[in-house]
Amino acid sequence: MRGENQALRLNSRCVPDPLSFALGDYVIFLDADEYFVPPIQKGAAELIELTFAQSGADSLILDRVEIDKQTNTTMAVTPADRILRRATVH
């Protein structure tokens, strides 16, 4: 999966295998200055579960929106794999 490989490569400088520490069904990669907007924060878990169930996907691509804090205008919107479904090992 492209997103998982990309995420592991990005985080391998800090933790050799960050997914080995994951305990839940999903892994969300956010930078220190990133967050879910307030309408999403409250129901994020349910929204993620429903989206994975309906799509059958292994990763979700979210829009990363860069906002200029002084003017409160959007500077860029970049899609990125940010939420991964953990694989079930049998």
- Give the Cβ contact number of residue 27 at 10 Å: 18
Distance of CA 38 to the CA centre of its chain: 16
Rounded to whole angstroms, the Cα distance separating 53 from 49 reads 6
Cβ contact 7:83 at 8 Å: no
The per-residue pLDDT for 71 is 94
- The order of strands in the sheet holding 26-28 is 26-28, 73-85, 59-68
Residue 16 has pLDDT above 70, yes or no: no
The per-residue pLDDT for range 23-73, each reduced to its tens digit, is 888 888 888 778 777 777 788 888 889 988 998 888 888 888 888 889 989
pTM greater than the 0.85 cutoff = no
Rounded to whole angstroms, the Cα distance separating 31 from 82 reads 10
